[in-house]
Structure 1
Amino acid sequence: MKHRTLGIGTALLAATAAGTLAMAPAAHAVDPTTATLSFDCGSFGSGEATLTATQDGTAATISLSTSAITSPFTISANSVKSTLTLTKNGSGTTTFTGNANPEIPAGGAVSTGPLNGTVATGDSLEATSLTVVVFGITATCNATSPQNPGPFVF
């Protein structure tokens, strides 16, 4: 008798789990998750940048590290204000903003993010410019190459 009850209980549990998985919302993912491009930041320098994107529903973040800007002195955590501008679906623009950064040592490459933005399913975003403000000093960087391997598609 116990084997029969165990068998029915296991079958019910498996059916419930399958039904729960079928009703769960589809996971959102960005592709690619990492891209590189080059920036020219005028008198602050030029170099390659690595962008890493994540998505959670309509909320998305992009973290960025670039050798185009190096710090002449140590910058404490969360003191870099950044705005990353991206082309949206080939015609409009959108921005990702934030003031999160790790501590950056003197001579170190600038890292910033996560920068926060909003996306819709199917949005294709490619970085075009970056503005970084540290201690009231603004560095504006313009993309000099397309993202590789391509735009972020959410």
Structure 2
Amino acid sequence: MKGMRIASGAALTIGALAVTGVLLAPAALAVTPGSATLTADCSSFGGGEATLTATQDGTAATMTLTSTAITAPIGLGADSIASTLTLVKGGGGTTVFSGTENPAMAAGDPVTVGPLSGTVASGDSLEAYGGSLRMTVFGITITCTATGPQSPGPFVFD
């Protein structure tokens, strides 16, 4: 009986320590907001509302742009668009996200590029307005710029 009480006491102690460890564990890093909308102008290739979605894992971050207003001019294979997204830092300077990831798209399909990879620092505040998205497809470069600040506001990284 005494051995059973010791085992029960040890189990309760271990359980309490596990709960305390979970409660005291550091919060995961996160970017806020997780997504923002903007209006983009892609010159003769069109323009309209687009959504940027951000993720963060330490100093590594990704951005994905989707837009139903900006469409694929021709059918495109998966991972066939070389994209460079330049965002403006709140304190000055820029941060670049780049990659060649995109889903396959038929002519007229909504455009999606990303996730594009970049590096951020804690406290970085990044805004699309003043930056650009350059997409190179079959040697043709399409540059899109935001026509105003993104909503609800800049991305702020932990």
Partners of 1:59 and 1:24 lie apart in 2 by 21
Note if contact 1:44-1:68 (Cα within 8 Å) is conserved in structure 2: no
Q: Which residue of 1 aligns with 2:33?
A: 32
Q: Which residue of 2 aligns with 1:152?
A: 155
Specify every segment of 5 or more residues in structure 1 that has no aligned partner in the other structure, as ranges.
none
Moved more, 62-71 or 91-100: 62-71
Q: Which whole-Å deviations, capped at 9, do the CAs of 1:86-110 have from their partners, x for residues lacking one?
A: 0112411111001000111111121
Note if contact 2:95-2:120 (Cα within 8 Å) is conserved in structure 1: no
Q: Structure 1: which amino acid aligns with 2:14?
A: L
Specify every segment of 5 or more residues in structure 2 that has no aligned partner in the other structure, as ranges.
none
Normalising by structure 1, we get a TM-score of: 0.91
What is the CA distance between 1:25 and its match in structure 2? 3.7
Partners of 1:69 and 1:135 lie apart in 2 by 18
Query: Equivalent residues in 2 for 1:101-116 (5 A)?
Result: 101-116=102-117
Q: Structure 1: which amino acid aligns with 2:139?
A: G
Normalising by structure 2, we get a TM-score of: 0.89
Q: Which residue of 2 aligns with 1:42?
A: 43
Structure 1 residue ranges, 4+ long, deviating more than 4 angstroms after superposition: none
Partners of 1:6 and 1:141 lie apart in 2 by 65
Aligned residues: 154
